[in-house]
Amino acid sequence: MTRRGAGPDFQTSFQSVLRPHDTAFEGVPEIQVHRPSDRASHLVLPLSSLRDEVFYRPVCAGDYSALKAAHLKAFPIDYDEAFYERAIAQDSGISSWAAVQKDRQSGQEELIGFITAQYLRLHECDPTDRAAMGLGSTLVNGQEVVYILTLGVAEAARRRGTAGQLLRLVLAAAEARGCRACFLHVICYNHAAISFYLAHSFDQLAELRDFYCIVSGRQPDPDRAQYNAYLCARHLREEGDLSAMAYISSALFPFRSLMDSWGQASGQQLAGIVAASS
């Protein structure tokens, strides 16, 4: 669960990360893709999920109200409109998936779970998180990690593996992109979520004091706003396998700014020439 406010959270990250649209299906080869009218497409997990009629697909515009209601139920934090808009648009490095259950009689879809995650370069992450994950070196500044912003399953649908499937979708895509790690913050009293992440090979790396400031009134003690968080992470590539490409890219890092400034300078020159000739 991300927090609102300062740090490597959703709002800060959104402002700082503006990347082209990611293909939500990248790195998820085991899933059949159906292409109905919706831009997001319907994805069907083949075996077990078909039995339960649970479908996994990218979050789309039609999910707006259900997604918001589900967040309100699942978390003590109030997320703002920008959060939902970006989770739906799947831009700014955001990847979000929905688990939907189809009513056998009416054929109506009900959102029973969701995951929202964001790809970040390590230099965009909080130094405390980086250090705890063992990814503090400036050599890996340009490498990507994936941050789980929110994950939730409707109470009635829990303990059926839905969150596990949603997490696997994010991990598969992150692995395909070459992300170094997947990480998240979880509030200290959320034992279900902590057990869930430990069961999925995440390590509980650090306890961050007063990480959350909750004033929604939905926290366990309405008179208390500050809560600690645990940083949990799972490495997706071994610490030692800083590849030749990463070395080359880090070695080029100082020259990149030189090339950028050359690009800007020549752009300015060009602008000057155009202005002079018009």
Ligand X SMILES: CC(C)(COP(=O)(O)OP(=O)(O)OC[C@H]1O[C@@H](n2cnc3c(N)ncnc32)[C@H](O)[C@@H]1OP(=O)(O)O)[C@@H](O)C(=O)NCCC(=O)NCCS
Tokens, residue 161: 């593996």
Whole-angstrom CA distances from 68 to 79, 88, 255 are 8, 11, 44
Region binding ligand X by CB under 6 A among candidate stretches 59-67, 152-160, 218-226, 260-268: 152-160
**Sole window of 10-18, 61-69, 134-142, 194-202 interacting with ligand X (rule: CB under 6 A):** 194-202
* 60 or 115: CB nearest ligand X: 115
Counting Cβ atoms within 10 Å, is residue 88 exposed (0-12), middle (13-18) or buried (19+)? buried
Strands 181-187 and 144-153: parallel
Residue in the structure block whose two tokens are 């909750």: 214
The C-alpha atoms of residue 74 and residue 123 are separated, in whole angstroms, by: 30
Q: Computed over its alpha carbons, how large is the radius of gyration of the chain? A: 21
How far apart are the C-alpha atoms of 113 and 58, rounded to whole Å?
11
- Contact call for residue 160 and ligand X (CB under 6 A): yes
| DSSP conformational letter for 250 | H
Contact positions with ligand X (CB under 6 A) in 65-124: 74
DSSP 8-state symbol, 31 = S
42 forms part of the interface with ligand X (CB under 6 A): no
> Is residue 199 near ligand X by the rule CB under 6 A?
yes
Three-class SS state of 21: coil
* Residue among 59, 77, 163, 173 that touches ligand X (CB under 6 A): 163
Would you give the binding string for ligand X spanning residues 45-74, x where CB under 6 A is met? -----------------------------x
Q: Which of 121, 123, 158, 177 binds ligand X (CB under 6 A)?
A: 158
- Stretch of 57-65, 159-167, 173-181, 212-220 lying at the interface with ligand X (CB under 6 A): 159-167
Point out which span in 13-21, 52-60, 157-165, 263-271 binds ligand X (CB under 6 A).
157-165
- Is residue 152 at the binding interface for ligand X, with CB under 6 A as the rule? yes
Interface contacts to ligand X, rule CB under 6 A: 1, 74, 151-153, 158-164, 184, 186, 190, 192-193, 195-196, 199
